[in-house]
A and B are shown apart, each in its own frame.
Chain A
Amino acid sequence: MTVLVDSDTRVVVQGITGHQGTVHTVQMKLFGTQVVAGVTPGKGGAQVEGVPVFNSVADAVAKTGANVSVIFVPAPFARDAFVEATDAGIRLAVIVTEHIPFHDMLTMFHYGRLRGTRIIGPNCPGVAAPGKAKAGIIPNVVFRPGRVGVVSRSGTLTYEIVNGIKEVGLGQSTCIGLGGDPVVGTSFVDALPLFEQDPETDLVVLVGEIGGTAEEEAAEYIHQHFSKPVVAYIAGRSAPEGKRMGHAGAIIARGRGTAASKRSALMQAGATVADFPYDVPALVAQRLREAGNR
């Protein structure tokens, strides 16, 4: 068993005929993922990179046994695309689309919760388990199969750190890019139990950012329930209060959500906190040695 995706994952790409949908269908296939279907209403019967396109997710599921959806449809239509996937029986939806209004995300999150569908994202790189499957857009080149789990709110910074882990000769079990929006379907606290239960993960790298309290909550969870070593990095130490730093979520408001508060919470929970992203790989190697896993 692995975290979220594995060799049994059968991906349907919603919005497969769009530019991003097509580009990443190719990349997911190159990663070794079974991309079994695409959905674009009105384009059923077409093929994209050898993948059959259907008019609805229900059709795609019925004909191909798809069980994970990766959603690229534009923001105004993302909510309905997610509801369609959920109603068709999909239980894991990776939403890559950015700029989804948070009010729509609230609807999606609570609808998914009622129906039992987990959301990764939105505005996220998605999930990848090297050697098994990828549902999302993380570049293939950064991976190498291994036993380090990665969970992150960032995009490119995640790629940078995952790549760094590879460069010191280690590899990853599963990498989850949660997305940095104000409302995310899966938070650190939701993702950490998956790694705790995963026998293929020895250590988790947590990449956080300023804004919100997700890292503080993660620290609380780690302190109480998490038995594996954690190495963390928090971006935005030098960010000023009141300025939104790219992600809608990355803002220090009223003194809350600072890097200092997150770092100290994680340290108190027993995590090793890196000062800079390039320090992460060496700290991972060190914690693994201490734990006797290398």
Chain B
Amino acid sequence: MVKLAEWRGKEIFRRYGIPIPSGRVVRSAAEAADVVRTGAVALPVVVKAQVLAGGRGKGGAVRFASTPDELQAVVSAMLGMQFKGETVKELLLEPKVAVGRELYLSIALDRSARVPLLIASGQGGVEIESMADDQLLRVPVHPFVGLAAYEKLRVGGVFSLTPPASKELGGLLDALWQAFQREDAELVEINPLAVVDGHLVALDAKVIIEDDASFRHPEYAEIRDDRTPLEEIAREKEIAFVQLDGDIGVIANGAGLTMATLDVLSQFGGKPGVFLDLGGTDDPNKVTEAFLLMAKARPSVVFLNIFGGVTRCDTVAKGLVAAMTQVPDSDRFPLVARIRGNNEDLGRQILESAGITALSDLKASAQAVVEAEKQRKAGGGS
């Protein structure tokens, strides 16, 4: 999931022929001054922080400036500010426009129906979650067909536009659909789609690109605005890695088993912190990498829970023993290992010869993990 900043989303819209304001991205007050001085964007301007979280308008992440001095003050105040955990590094400057009506338009996947779903509303400009259900038009879009003329008319019906905007809608809908399909998007959202001087303009852009399509979209691989540094390393190593609030590290194989492990730990009062899913691997080096990555997250205790299927227990055991020799003393952590399945006995032997106890019962293991964490905390973290 690659969430694109507004300006990147608008760049996609522009390529597909969806009208956007002619703005510029700046990363310093000097750049902002240049943009206005050269007339690339004319005052008065709207200054929008390029963060991924919503609610920017209310949170002071969208501001206005009418003079060069005001612009300097606004830009200086916004660059470097914290917004819902993100640091503002980029600002989008656009000419301030007189907005007529604000509409809503998006396309996303409907998993149950297994078709893309277009959603339109005549009441845009607010988050879709706060819109009443009866104000949303839902149009399933068959992937082989795209939007048929009658479906576009239905969207036109809820927007109740007048020319020239009404004439522009069909082309805009086709463009949005094409962007959704060809860019391998999970979501394309225009909120608001505004009427400015009688014409349709996308005043905001929210685009999420699917990771799995990176083989045909290498251009998005470089964008990693929304990941923590450890999540980024994990991604490079093809290990699923999620950081939560607690201190216990969990390494398991398979998403379902990992989640079940978290559930069992929580039941016994353990707070999982780092969740690391090996997936189906039979490479001991990948297991070693996973443990070294886990060590970097400084867990209080680590719970290894493996059910060997594609992944054999002896492979995991070998990788684990190799990793333990490489973890620096300062990063060492207590370990509880629970292995079941393919080559379980062999895996247990390898672990035990390296001084690691391997359990087989999930419940007992989870209790042992929580106990180990208690002891470590009681012992002052030694």
Q: Contact partner of A76 among B109, B215, B256, CB < 8 A?
A: B215
Q: Are A254 and B263 neighbours in the complex by a CB distance under 8 Å?
A: no
Q: Are B112 and A141 neighbours in the complex by a CB distance under 8 Å?
A: no
Q: Are A101 and B263 neighbours in the complex by a CB distance under 8 Å?
A: no
Considering only CB atoms, which chain B residue lies closest to A257 in the complex? B111
**Which residues in chain B, 329-363, are within 8 Å of chain A measured between CB atoms?**
340-342, 361-363
State which of A3-11, A28-36, A243-251 sits at the interface with chain B: A243-251
State which of A43-51, A84-92, A206-214 sits at the interface with chain B: A206-214
Q: Are A244 and B1 neighbours in the complex by a CB distance under 8 Å?
A: yes
Report how far A46 CA is from B335 CA in the complex, Å: 47
**Which residues in chain A, 241-275, are within 8 Å of chain B measured between CB atoms?**
243-250, 254, 275
Q: Are B256 and A157 neighbours in the complex by a CB distance under 8 Å?
A: yes
**Count of residues in B whose CB is under 8 Å from the partner chain:** 55
Most buried by B among A159, A183, A212, A238: A238
Q: Are B260 and A254 neighbours in the complex by a CB distance under 8 Å?
A: no
Q: Are A155 and B244 neighbours in the complex by a CB distance under 8 Å?
A: no
**Which residues in chain A, 181-216, are within 8 Å of chain B measured between CB atoms?**
182-183, 187, 207, 209-210, 212-214
Report how far A158 CA is from B255 CA in the complex, Å: 11
> Interface code B236-280, partner A: CB below 8 Å = 1, 0 otherwise?
000010101100000011111111101111110000100101011
**Which residues in chain A, 97-113, are within 8 Å of chain B measured between CB atoms?**
98-103, 106-107, 109-110
Q: Which residues of A contact B109 (CB under 8 A)?
A: 102, 106, 182-183
State which of B94-102, B153-161, B303-311 sits at the interface with chain A: B303-311
Answer whether residue B133 sits at the interface, using C-beta atoms and an 8 A cutoff. no
Min CB–CB distance A258 → chain B (angstroms): 12
Q: Which residues of B contact A109 (CB under 8 A)?
A: 114
Q: Are A238 and B262 neighbours in the complex by a CB distance under 8 Å?
A: yes
Report how far A106 CA is from B340 CA in the complex, Å: 36
Given the known A-B contacts A182-B109, A238-B262, A245-B242, are A76 and B216 also in contact in the complex, defined by CB atoms under 8 Å? yes
Given the known A-B contacts A103-B213, A106-B143, A138-B309, are A154 and B341 also in contact in the complex, defined by CB atoms under 8 Å? no
Report how far A98 CA is from B116 CA in the complex, Å: 21
Answer whether residue B174 sits at the interface, using C-beta atoms and an 8 A cutoff. no
Q: Which residues of A contact B362 (CB under 8 A)?
A: 160, 276-278
Report how far A247 CA is from B262 CA in the complex, Å: 15
Report how far A159 CA is from B267 CA in the complex, Å: 22
Given the known A-B contacts A75-B212, A106-B143, A110-B143, are A245 and B260 also in contact in the complex, defined by CB atoms under 8 Å? no
Q: Are A276 and B116 neighbours in the complex by a CB distance under 8 Å?
A: no
Min CB–CB distance A182 → chain B (angstroms): 5
Answer whether residue A240 sits at the interface, using C-beta atoms and an 8 A cutoff. yes
**Count of residues in A whose CB is under 8 Å from the partner chain:** 60
Q: Contact partner of A246 among B129, B254, B266, B308, CB < 8 A?
A: B254
Answer whether residue B181 sits at the interface, using C-beta atoms and an 8 A cutoff. yes
Answer whether residue A236 sits at the interface, using C-beta atoms and an 8 A cutoff. yes
Q: Are A139 and B308 neighbours in the complex by a CB distance under 8 Å?
A: yes
Given the known A-B contacts A100-B212, A156-B253, are A137 and B111 also in contact in the complex, defined by CB atoms under 8 Å? no
Q: Which residues of A contact B150 (CB under 8 A)?
A: none
Min CB–CB distance A194 → chain B (angstroms): 18
Q: Contact partner of B143 among A107, A154, A277, CB < 8 A?
A: A107
Q: Are B341 and A141 neighbours in the complex by a CB distance under 8 Å?
A: yes
Considering only CB atoms, which chain A residue lies closest to B116 in the complex? A106
Answer whether residue A59 sits at the interface, using C-beta atoms and an 8 A cutoff. no
Given the known A-B contacts A106-B143, A246-B277, A248-B212, are A239 and B257 also in contact in the complex, defined by CB atoms under 8 Å? no
Q: Which residues of B contact A212 (CB under 8 A)?
A: 111-112
> Interface code B183-198, partner A: CB below 8 Å = 1, 0 otherwise?
0101000000000000
Q: Which residues of A contact B27 (CB under 8 A)?
A: none
Q: Which residues of A contact B272 (CB under 8 A)?
A: 238
Considering only CB atoms, which chain B residue lies closest to A138 in the complex? B309
Q: Contact partner of B112 among A102, A107, A214, CB < 8 A?
A: A214
Q: Are A213 and B111 neighbours in the complex by a CB distance under 8 Å?
A: yes
Q: Which residues of B contact A277 (CB under 8 A)?
A: 260, 264, 362
Apart from A75-B215, A183-B109, A278-B361: 4 A-B pairs, beta carbons within 8 A? A240-B244, A245-B275, A246-B275, A276-B363
A interface residues with partner B (beta carbon < 8 Å): 20, 75-76, 98-103, 106-107, 109-110, 125, 137-139, 141-142, 152-160, 163, 180, 182-183, 187, 207, 209-210, 212-214, 217, 233, 235-240, 243-250, 254, 275-278
Can you list 25 A-B pairs with a CB-CB distance of less than 8 A? A75-B212, A76-B216, A101-B212, A102-B186, A102-B212, A103-B181, A103-B184, A106-B143, A137-B280, A137-B310, A139-B308, A156-B311, A159-B307, A159-B309, A160-B307, A182-B111, A213-B112, A214-B111, A235-B260, A238-B272, A249-B111, A250-B255, A276-B263, A277-B362, A278-B362
